[in-house]
Structure 1
Amino acid sequence: MGQAGVLLDRDGTIIVDHGYVGTVDRVEFIEGAIEAIAELNRAGIPVAVVTNQSGVARGLYGIEDVQQVHKHMIAELARQGAHIDLWLFCPYHPDGTVESFARISADRKPAAGMALAAAETLDLDLSASWVVGDSSTDIGLARSVGACPVHIGTPDTAQPDVTSFPDLTAAVGFILEQHAADAGNGNRRPRFPAHRFDRADAYGGEYVTELSRAFATVDLAQLDRAAEILLAAHERDAAVFACGNGGSASIANHLQCDHVKGVRVGTDLTTRVFSLSTNVELFSAIANDIGYDAVFEYQLQSQAREGDVLIAISSSGRSPNIVRALEWANANGLSTIALTGFEGEPSRSLATVSIHVDTRNYGVIEDAHQACMHLLAQYVRQSRMAETEVAAHVF
C-alpha cells in the first residue's frame, strides 16, 4: 500500500511570504526550514511541495519564473543536504488577467488536484500523510483528501482540532513523532495484488480471498441504519437519489433499477428512486456550462426536498462532485448514506451513515458496494412481505 508523506506549502512555510515571490532575488528561506526538510529526508519520508502561484494568472510573473525560483531553491536545499521529491504548483486563478490562466482549477488549493497527483507519483497513502502550511487553504486541502493538517502560525480558534506550530522545525518534530508511532503499530492493511500472477485461476483465488477480507470490514450496524433510512423513505414517499462516477455510476444506476422495479415485486411499495448519474444530456450540460464538480449538487438543488435521501457512492471518498453533493444534502435536510473505500474521506465523515470497505483495490471495493446495494434492496423488499411469501418469490 502507499506510504506516508508530507505535502508542504511554499510561501510562509519554507520561504518568507513576501507576496508573489516570482524572482530568485526575493527568495528568503525561513530559519530552520531547510534542516527540517533534511530531517524528513533522513527519516525516508517523501516530501512534495504543493503551492498556489496565482501570480502567473495575475500577470505578475510567468511559468518560467516559477521554475527558476524552484531551481534556485533546489540548489540551496542541496547545499545543506536536503531535497524535495516533487514540486507542484497551480498557476490558475478565476480572477486572473492572463486569459490562458484565468479559470477555476481542480489543482488550486484547497481543491485536491495537486495532492492526488503527489499521491500517484510518490505512491502516497494520503490518509497516513500530512499537509503543512500557513493558510486555511492548506487545512482545506488536508481535509479534502483525508490527510492530517499541520498549521504553521498562530492557532486558529475556529479550528481547534488542527495542530499549530510556530515554524516548520517544530511541525516536523511533531510529524516525526507521529510517524514513529504509526510505524510501531503494525496496522497497515495489505495491498492486493502485491505481486504479478502467471495464472488467472491463482489470481481469482486471491481476489476472492481479498473480497471476503474486505467485506468483513463493513460495519453491519451501518448497513442496518442505511436499511432503516431507505425503508422509512419509501414508506413516507420521499425521494431517494443516488450518484457516483465511473464504476460507481453503474452502481447508482443499478440501485435505481433494484428499488423502482425489484422492491415493488410482492410488496405494496411504489418507490421514488433516481440516479443522478444516468441522464447524459443533463449531466453533460451541467459539466460543460458550470463544471464537473457541480453535476450532482446542481441536480439536487432542483429536485431534492427536505426529508429526501442521498446515496453517494465513491471508492476514494474524495471526488469533489460527491463531496459537494453530500455537503449540500446535509445542509438542506436530507439523510445521507456514503459507500466508500480506500481512506473514504471526507465522504465517510460527511454522511449520516457510512458503509466503508477497507481495501485499496477498486474492483474489490466496487464488488463490495454492489453487494451492499443488492442486500439493502432485497432486505427492504422482504421486510414488506408476509412471512409465507418470502420463500415463494425469487430474489
Structure 2
Amino acid sequence: MTVTVTRPPAADAMAPMAFFDRDGVLNEEVDYAFRIDQIVWVEGAFAAVRRLNRLGYRVVVVTNQSGVGRGYYTEDDVRSLHGQMNRIMLENGARIDAFYFSPHHPEAALAAYRADHEDRKPRPGMLLKAMRDFPTERERSFLVGDRDTDIQAAAAAGVRGFLFEGGNLDAFIAGQLERP
C-alpha cells in the first residue's frame, strides 16, 4: 500500500475519520482512471468533503488500484492523480487529508503486485493503517463506498459502512450524519 498525506495530522488531535472509496463515489466510475482528464466529479463531491471538513472529520480516500498491478499505469501515476484531485478539491474549498491505495490483485500481470494483499478491499488494511497514522475516534468514523467489498472492509475495520448508489454525494452524507 502506498499513501500520500496531504496534511500532516496533529500528534494529539483525536478526530473521526470519513473514508471514501474513489471511483464511483467521489468521481464517476471509469475503468483504470489514472489521468485527471478521466475524472468527472460526482455531483456534491466538493460540498460533501467541505461539510466533513467543517465538522472536524479527517477525510481519507481508500482505493483499490489494480491497474498498477496489471501494468496499465504506475504508482507514481496514481500519486500524481491524487495530488491533482486534491488540488482541485482545495480550489473548491475542500480538503482530503490522505490518499491510500492498494496496487495489488491476486491475478496481477506484474509479479510484484500479485497477491491477495491485506490492503486490498474487502480486507481492511488501508483503513487500519489510516487509523494508526491519524488519532481516530473510531465510533464516529465511517466509510462510503459503492461496492459490497467497500462495506466489508469497513466492517472488518470496525467502522460503519454506507453504500452509495449514486446521486448527490453531499445529500447522501448529510442524510447519513443525521442517523443515530
- Listed one character per residue, the Cα deviations across residues 204-235 of structure 1 (whole Å, up to 9, x for unaligned) are xxxxxxxxxxxxxxxxxxxxxxxxxxxxxxxx
- Listed one character per residue, the Cα deviations across residues 296-355 of structure 1 (whole Å, up to 9, x for unaligned) are xxxxxxxxxxxxxxxxxxxxxxxxxxxxxxxxxxxxxxxxxxxxxxxxxxxxxxxxxxxx
Separation (CA, whole Å) in 1 of partners of 2:103 and 2:110: 10
Shift of 1:125: 3.0
Verify: 1:146 aligned to 2:147, yes or no.
no
SS in 1 for 2:67: coil
Q: CA RMSD in A?
A: 1.6
2:103 alignment partner, one of 91, 102, 114: 91
SS in 1 for 2:66: coil
Verify: 1:69 aligned to 2:120, yes or no.
no
Verify: 1:53 aligned to 2:65, yes or no.
yes
Separation (CA, whole Å) in 1 of partners of 2:114 and 2:168: 32
Verify: 1:11 aligned to 2:23, yes or no.
yes
Q: Does the CA-based 8 Å contact 1:129-1:148 persist in structure 2? A: yes
Corresponding residue for residue 176 of structure 1: 177
Corresponding residue for residue 136 of structure 1: 148
Q: Does the CA-based 8 Å contact 1:127-1:145 persist in structure 2? A: no
Q: How does 1:1-395 map to 2 (within 5 A)?
A: 2-153=14-165, 166-178=167-179
Larger Rg over CA atoms: 1
Q: Does the CA-based 8 Å contact 2:43-2:167 persist in structure 1? A: no
- Listed one character per residue, the Cα deviations across residues 220-252 of structure 1 (whole Å, up to 9, x for unaligned) are xxxxxxxxxxxxxxxxxxxxxxxxxxxxxxxxx
- Listed one character per residue, the Cα deviations across residues 123-175 of structure 1 (whole Å, up to 9, x for unaligned) are 1133431110101111101111221111111xxxxxxxxxxx74422221024
Separation (CA, whole Å) in 2 of partners of 1:24 and 1:176: 30
SS in 2 for 1:18: coil
SS in 2 for 1:55: helix
5+ residue gaps, structure 2? 1-12
Corresponding residue for residue 295 of structure 1: none
Shift of 1:18: 1.1
Shift of 1:2: 4.8
Q: Does the CA-based 8 Å contact 1:150-1:171 persist in structure 2? A: no
Separation (CA, whole Å) in 1 of partners of 2:128 and 2:96: 17
Corresponding residue for residue 7 of structure 2: none
SS in 2 for 1:75: helix
Q: Does the CA-based 8 Å contact 1:14-1:33 persist in structure 2? A: yes
Shift of 1:80: 0.6
Shift of 1:5: 1.5
Q: Does the CA-based 8 Å contact 1:126-1:145 persist in structure 2? A: no
Separation (CA, whole Å) in 2 of partners of 1:71 and 1:147: 26
Amino acid at match of 2:16: A
Amino acid at match of 1:172: I
Relative to total residues, which structure has the larger helix share, 1 or 2? 1
Shift of 1:121: 1.5
Q: Does the CA-based 8 Å contact 1:36-1:172 persist in structure 2? A: yes
Identity fraction in percent: 35
Q: Does the CA-based 8 Å contact 1:53-1:89 persist in structure 2? A: yes
Separation (CA, whole Å) in 2 of partners of 1:20 and 1:76: 20
- Listed one character per residue, the Cα deviations across residues 2-56 of structure 1 (whole Å, up to 9, x for unaligned) are 5322110000000111111112221111121111111111111111100000000
Q: Tell me the TM-score normalized by structure 1.
A: 0.41
